[in-house]
Structure 1
Amino acid sequence: MSANSSRLDAIDALRGFAIVSIMLLHNIEHFDFYFVPSGLPAWLMAVDKTIWDSLFFLFGGKSYAIFALLFGLTFYLQDHRREQRGEDFRARFAWRMVLLLGFGLFNSMFYHGDILSIYAVLGLALIPVARLRSGVVFAIAIFLLLQPHAWIEFFQALPAPDEKLADPASWAYFGRAEKYMAHGSAWEVWYGNLTNGKIGVIRWSWENGRVFQIPALFMLGMLAGRKSLFIPSDSNRLFWRKTLAIAVLAFIPLYLLKTWPEVWHIGAALRRPLLVIVTSWSNVAFMAVLVSSFTLLSYSGNWLGIFSPLGRMSLTSYVVQSIVGTSIYYGFGLGMYQYTGASFALAIGLVLALLQRQFSAWWLRRHKQGPLETLWHKATWIGAHSEAVPNIGVNIPKSSL
């Protein structure tokens, strides 16, 4: 196996793993429709709580971060290839983000928690840093990861640390969404998600520091591409082992602080921004645990390649799971939110993930790319003299890198 082939297999598998973990989380959440069925026996409620806590511990706030990291890596590979041909990819990338925004808005009709539209806007942050030295890019990424806005809120709260805070603005939007998710027609859900729901998600992303964290992870992914960190080698194996050790050591205290903020003994006005900061850092640390562990395991064989078909069709897989999932749980569809706790929803998610994986494998035996990936690729390079490499996870030909 060549270095390029191995790199792409590992990236596809990692992206596919993230797709599966997102699928499982979205199912136990009923696709952002939080509802606990009544009348469940005590033992089943205990099982549901264990499943809920375990999945959020493993994947909550981490799966989307893996996608963000790989998004930046993808940008680097596309940009670097065009640069080697004497071309500048950045203008085409901006157009590519416009197209991704379109996919994201379509997906937002079904699932207001869509991440594609947010990636499309924040992905533009890669354009001004693409030609900067790695040290400068790394410094910018660290600054963003520090959550500067949350620190501003913290210092602003110092004069009145015990002041009672109003509920976050996003909560009102999510409260209104529950009504049309439960009782609205398909049209009411689609309209509500694109208006009320989308505003709520944008506000939530700002309130929880995602607006800073996501572009930082994009930049770190770009730097990982520059350093060829996903190519199997002794030096990279050592890098990922060190990363795993450091990430574990960082995650443990951060997780404890995040889980029991009452031990901080500070006022609510100070606690809220600090909790945003600590939660963000905790999620990034555990994301590094997952990525480094997955990468090291990929060196021991190709058995993790079971996730690769999903990774190669990540755009199609992500949008399809929104359409199918909301049709299963929301009131305009089967209304299964009324009957499924975390355990039953997890079972549904596992079945859907397996079906998606089998469909992706079947499709890719007959086509070079997934259906939405093909559309995105062709639209990206419309008017160009020759087509360039499509997105990783959208079946990049291994011979092209």
Structure 2
Amino acid sequence: MHTPNQRLLVVDALRGFALVTIMLLHNLEHFDVYHLPEGLPEWLVSLDKMIWEFLFFLFAGKSYAMFALLFGLTFFIQMRNQEARGSDFRPRFAWRLLLLLLFGMLNSAFYQGDILTIYAVFGLVLIPVAKLSDRTVLILATILFLQPWAFYQLIDAIRHPVENLGDPTSWGYFGKMWTYITEPSFWDTVVGNLTNGKKAVLWWSYESGRFFHIPALFMLGLWAGRKGLFENSAKNTAFWKRTLLITTLIFLPLWYLQKHMADFITDEGVKRYATVIETSWTNVAFMCIWVATFYLAFQNQKIQKWLKPFIPIGSMSLSNYVLQSILGATLYYGFGFGLYKITGATHSFLIAIVLSIVMYFICVWWLKRHKRGPLESIWHQLTWMGSKKG
């Protein structure tokens, strides 16, 4: 198996952890087919509710944020490696993003909630940002994290209250998904995912503030790479301990606000935009808690052995992300086994655990024979075609 350096081990493990937890949530959601089976015993309904709420509390909005952070970090690593060879990686990166867009469209054919296409577009922001100073990158990321557009909308909602606030635009598109996802036609599902589904996800990403959140996370990952924050050192251990303490202190009042916002905000427009801001901040704080905890746990040799199974999964993150979409659609959608009809959160959680274990053994088997995952190899070869490196 290809053995990366220590820095890449913790990064790959964290990426694998993010991917597995993303897959857990996707399974609970039946890959966007939100449906509660009827006729389940009360104890199972209660267990389903508990599992749903607990896993969404832990990972919703946090796992994807880790994934985005590591996207920016990976860009830095590639940029640094090419600079060491006297090359500017940015033109290749633009081409690489176009290839990622194509992978994302492939993934979107199976799962409309695909994030790769959005990464491919917003990843372009890293090209001009790459040569800015550390301070400027951090300032830009902070401004985007503050959700300036949502603040503008919030102020406008306070100044001009609306009595009958309409539903978010994305809801109309999500409401149409039942006409193709639950039906037995694979082709109708593909067409629906690539048309109506893409509109639904883009509108939802805009409405939830992710158009600002994602590029901010990319920049934060770039900044973290420059600072070498994932290197194994006493200095970094101290940094992540401080980060864990500070972000926990930030998260707790934000979480309290999340639970009680409806108690002191009655206007629906004000509440909608205040929720976008609060949720964005809360998720970033919790994401930092996860990253800090994972880094610190990985430094402990006894704990590290329990985290190492995430390494091969993270090493093949692109292949695994697309694979979980194909498997999920086949399991839950109408053209496949239609398990959305009979599986609640408990059963979907168990399915996700089994899929994660299977994914791990597939990755171990593959990486013993190849340097990269199958889609990673294609991405690498196409990225560097026409160059000596390719």
TM-score by length of 2: 0.97
Distance 2:135 2:29 in 1: 40
Q: Is the 8 A contact 2:315 2:372 kept in 1?
A: yes
Of 159-168 and 108-117, the range deviating more from structure 2 = 159-168
Distance 2:354 2:338 in 1: 18
**Which deviations, in whole Å up to 9, do the C-alpha atoms of 1:139-197 show, x marking residues without a partner?**
00000001111011011112233532100000010010022111241000000000000
After superposition, where does 1:227-246 map in structure 2 within 5 Å? 227-246=227-246
Q: Is the 8 A contact 2:184 2:336 kept in 1?
A: no
Shift of 1:266: 4.0
Distance 2:169 2:347 in 1: 32
Is it true that 1:354 corresponds to 2:357 in the alignment? yes
Shift of 1:230: 0.5
Q: Is the 8 A contact 2:154 2:270 kept in 1?
A: yes
Is it true that 1:384 corresponds to 2:387 in the alignment? yes
After superposition, where does 1:249-398 map in structure 2 within 5 Å? 249-301=249-301, 302-303=304-305, 304-387=307-390
After superposition, where does 1:2-401 map in structure 2 within 5 Å? 5-161=5-161, 163-301=163-301, 302-303=304-305, 304-387=307-390
**Which deviations, in whole Å up to 9, do the C-alpha atoms of 1:83-106 show, x marking residues without a partner?**
122211101000000000000000
**Which deviations, in whole Å up to 9, do the C-alpha atoms of 1:305-356 show, x marking residues without a partner?**
1110100000000000000111000011000000000000101110001000
Q: Is the 8 A contact 2:313 2:360 kept in 1?
A: yes
TM-score by length of 1: 0.94
Provide the aligned length of Structure 1 versus Structure 2: 385
Q: Is the 8 A contact 1:79 1:90 kept in 2?
A: yes
Shift of 1:265: 3.0
Distance 1:337 1:267 in 2: 35
Q: Is the 8 A contact 2:76 2:225 kept in 1?
A: yes
Shift of 1:259: 2.4
Letter in 2 for 1:260: H
**Which deviations, in whole Å up to 9, do the C-alpha atoms of 1:347-390 show, x marking residues without a partner?**
11100010001100110011111100000000000111224xxx
Letter in 1 for 2:316: M
- Unaligned stretches of 5+ in structure 2? none
Q: Is the 8 A contact 1:164 1:269 kept in 2?
A: no
Letter in 1 for 2:389: S
Percent identical pairs in the alignment equals 53
